[in-house]
Structure 1
Amino acid sequence: MNGKATHTKTRLDRGRGALGPALELVHTGRAPTRAVLTAELGVTRATAGAVAAELEALGLIQVDSRPGAAAGSQGRPSHRLAVNDSGPVALAAQVHADGFRAALVGLGGRTVATAPGCVTVSADPAQVLGEVVEAGAELLRGSGLRCVGAGLAVPSAVAEPDGTALNPLHLAWPAGAPVREIFAEQVRAAGIEGPAFTGNDVNLAALAEHRHGAGRGAQHLLCVATGHRGVGGALVLDGRLHTGSSGLALEVGHLTVNPEGRPCYCGGRGCLDVETDPLAFLVAAGRDPGPEVSLLEQSRELLRTEYDDVSVRGAAEELVDRLGLGLAGLVNILNPDRIILGGLHKALLEADPDRLRAVVADRSLWGRSGGVPILACSLDHNSLVGAAELAWQPVLDDPLGALG
């Protein structure tokens, strides 16, 4: 081996420990150029170049060595880095009260393909997960792309380390269903490569938003969202989901916001879960929920088209006040630096942002001293993107070990 080749190999050996951090920087959009990658990793330019070349050889990123210079700039422009649009994908699946959906998601949170969603969910978890995995397998066969693994989002707390769905309250599934084990079996049976993971849908939405959406850059990110039924919450601390000692943290749907309110599926009364979800909104607005589309879509459409109606506006204000009360309590306990809202809560924020922010400020200890930014989630199908993040994590941790 000649001297130049020896030096190149030495740089690559030194840089292999930086492959994962480098890939995560490109994956989350924080290293658009080799110069930024060099600075973020704290390595030499040559080592950063070797790391980028290795990630490119693995089919994960693309390196543009001849980018055009920006107008008015001086000097040679740095190599541009981007995820490989034709690289591997993860299979992402989501089950909710009104159906399921499967998708292929690449690096960067980019959705490559989506299967039409099913609108009925049976009481048999194995049947449902078999159907959603088969939908994903069909997408994979049609794409011809390599699969790094599979992730599943479910509307339930998922207990660790067993991966059981403890409280699928809005599905007819039995409490404690071993969803991770069932999902992994279905993934293997479909001949899909890579490990299989399962998580709570709002946790995964928060993870996706933190890496690719409205939560990017937050250090202490609180996410609260309605699903098609019920309310969930999640906390991302320094880039990692806070799931508690056994995966059950942030069950915010069961905070009491109306002691005289509706009975909740958990056995309590007046919880966020039943006071601020789509069904609660439709009932408060005096509308009979129809079977044609999901409750969430019916609620969004009502806010879009009939917000000036007295009953609709009154229902929205009622839910905003209760949501604000719950958020203020969470602010007092968790002290987040950003709050993002999804599902119907996103639509309520967009309909009357000043009212919600005023309620939170009025009820939280530190609200009047600047307040916490409250933003709408920005990603389409963020729980699906978050499910894919679970499957991508082993690759982000060790690209060469996972794919080499």
Structure 2
Amino acid sequence: MTQTRTTRLERGRSALGPALELVHTGRAPTRAVLTAELGVTRATAGAVAAELEALGLIQVDSHPAAAGSQGRPSHRLAVAPNGPVVLAAQIHADGFRAALVGLGGRMVATAPGCMPVPADPSHIIDAVVEAGATLLRETGRSCLGAGLAVPSAVAEPDGTALNPLHLSWPVGSPVRALFAQSVAKAGVTGPDGSPVTAVTGNDVNLAALAEHRHGAGRGARHLLCVATGHRGVGGALVLDGRVHSGSSGLALEVGHLTVNPAGLPCHCGSRGCLDVEADPLAFLAAAGRTPDPEGSLLRQSRDLLRTRYADPSVRSAAESLIDRLGLGLAGLVNILNPDRIILGGLHRELLDADPERLRAVVADRSLWGRSGSVPILPCTLDHNSLIGAAEAAWQPVLDDPLAAFG
């Protein structure tokens, strides 16, 4: 084999990962766009697309040229509709959800579970993995990885949950090791028969990653995500496509920004943090509602906001939370200077309820917000933490598609 031929093959193989990510995120809908984005020849782009199609990851369809156009027709590229999946799992204060997610962030199947979260994390991790393994058996899909989202900062490189404040888990629970053990025990294996790689991350970090690739954050270079799920408030920063996790995975604990110095005591030891002043429990309390212990706090607060917003007590509670949230966002804008802010969970509902009030608070309290150059948008993906767990599981495949198949 000539040196030129060898170099061409190596260049094509090194382009497999970038090419797959372009199709996965919808940035290369045709082979012509793929050629331009990769900066390779048309022949190389065609070979790369053919290799990814042979692996069962994408499909290449002939796309007729538009009427009156000249030259060869391009080819449409899309993720393979019946291709492999990853197992995605999420644990929250009210239970768990498992799903099978394909390339492109497409959810193939899902199974929710409602159960009290026990003090031993292995029990609920086993339950959510078994739910995912059942989905794999029922669908017969090939699995290439597994990802878990948890409501806690996850320290790197050990994969331990350092502050599961709204769960009864011990501080420092080895969630990544427990997840990997559960995946192996449930018989979730890859194409070569060995247990798939299992990864774990903070739920808001993973939600931000999913929104950046497939949702409201697409195209942003400095994306700030703030969200409240079933309990507490989290934040994440995506810089040039990667989650900024700090030196050890603990960056952007925005829930512990003080927005009301005389406010409620927080689990972290401070008072008036976003975590206890702007989450679903805080909203229900401000509206004078007693939470139903059997139902999701997030669902209860959403339903109240959507159906009873005309009630003065509900509207007053919403305005109080919007003001607290806006104060926290203003501080983050001053520090981080993001080019876009996206809000998830109950915060998305508060933005929809009174967008002008929230934007006015941020503008009044921040240097850069006054210019009006920081868009504040709602997250657009359902179950974005779950999709983000899948993104983390897909990442090794995006980095090296051939290695994923042994």
Answering whether residue 39 of structure 2 is matched by residue 39 of structure 1, we say no
Residue in 1 aligned with 2:166?
Answer: 170
1:403 positional shift: 1.5
Aligned residues of 1:151 and 1:387 also touching (Cα < 8 A):
yes
One-letter amino acid of the counterpart of residue 369, structure 2 = G
* Correspondence for 1:202 among 198, 201, 204: 204
Whole-angstrom distance in 1 between the partners of 2:134 and 2:368 = 51
Alpha-carbon distance change, 90 to 315 in structure 1, aligned in 2, over 3 angstroms: same
Residue in 2 aligned with 1:83?
Answer: 79
Residues 264-284 of structure 1: per-residue CA shift (max 9 Å, x gap): 011110000000000000000
Aligned residues of 2:348 and 2:379 also touching (Cα < 8 A):
yes
One-letter amino acid of the counterpart of residue 94, structure 1 = Q
Residue in 2 aligned with 1:391?
Answer: 393
Deviates more, 1:34-43 or 1:190-199: 190-199
Residue in 1 aligned with 2:122?
Answer: 126
Whole-angstrom distance in 2 between the partners of 1:242 and 1:9 = 37
1:371 positional shift: 2.8
Aligned residues of 1:12 and 1:51 also touching (Cα < 8 A):
no
Answering whether residue 94 of structure 2 is matched by residue 92 of structure 1, we say no
Residue in 2 aligned with 1:343?
Answer: 345
One-letter amino acid of the counterpart of residue 74, structure 2 = S
Whole-angstrom distance in 1 between the partners of 2:102 and 2:4 = 33
1:67 positional shift: 1.8
Whole-angstrom distance in 1 between the partners of 2:24 and 2:130 = 27
Deviates more, 1:362-371 or 1:28-37: 362-371
1:172 positional shift: 1.0
**What SS does the aligned partner of 2:15 have?**
helix
Alpha-carbon distance change, 387 to 196 in structure 1, aligned in 2, over 3 angstroms: same
Aligned residues of 1:12 and 1:50 also touching (Cα < 8 A):
no
Residue in 1 aligned with 2:106?
Answer: 110
Residues 164-219 of structure 1: per-residue CA shift (max 9 Å, x gap): 00110111111111000111001011111210000000000000000110001000
Alpha-carbon distance change, 34 to 8 in structure 1, aligned in 2, over 3 angstroms: farther
**TM-score computed with the length of structure 1 as normaliser:** 0.96
Aligned residues of 1:361 and 1:371 also touching (Cα < 8 A):
no
* Correspondence for 2:153 among 154, 157, 179: 157
Unaligned 5+ segments in structure 1 are: none
**What SS does the aligned partner of 2:341 have?**
strand
Aligned residues of 2:155 and 2:249 also touching (Cα < 8 A):
yes
Aligned residues of 1:152 and 1:387 also touching (Cα < 8 A):
yes
Aligned residues of 2:265 and 2:271 also touching (Cα < 8 A):
yes
**What SS does the aligned partner of 2:184 have?**
helix
Aligned residues of 1:93 and 1:151 also touching (Cα < 8 A):
yes
1:174-253 matched pairs, under 5 angstroms = 174-193=170-189, 194-253=196-255
Whole-angstrom distance in 2 between the partners of 1:223 and 1:100 = 22
One-letter amino acid of the counterpart of residue 357, structure 2 = R
Deviates more, 1:11-20 or 1:133-142: 11-20
Residue in 2 aligned with 1:19?
Answer: 16
Aligned residues of 1:93 and 1:152 also touching (Cα < 8 A):
yes
**What SS does the aligned partner of 1:375 have?**
strand
One-letter amino acid of the counterpart of residue 135, structure 1 = A
1:72 positional shift: 6.8
**What SS does the aligned partner of 2:226 have?**
strand
One-letter amino acid of the counterpart of residue 138, structure 2 = G
1:244-283 matched pairs, under 5 angstroms = 244-283=246-285
1:71 positional shift: 6.3
1:253 positional shift: 0.1
Whole-angstrom distance in 1 between the partners of 2:4 and 2:250 = 49
Aligned residues of 1:94 and 1:383 also touching (Cα < 8 A):
yes
**What SS does the aligned partner of 1:32 have?**
coil
**TM-score computed with the length of structure 2 as normaliser:** 0.96
After TM superposition, the runs of 4+ consecutive aligned structure 1 residues lying more than 6 A away are 6-10
**What SS does the aligned partner of 2:235 have?**
strand
Aligned residues of 2:263 and 2:271 also touching (Cα < 8 A):
yes
Calculate the aligned-residue CA RMSD, in Å.
Answer: 1.6
Residue in 1 aligned with 2:139?
Answer: 143
For these two proteins, the number of residue pairs brought into alignment is 400
Residue in 2 aligned with 1:297?
Answer: 299
Aligned residues of 2:153 and 2:162 also touching (Cα < 8 A):
yes
Whole-angstrom distance in 2 between the partners of 1:79 and 1:10 = 25
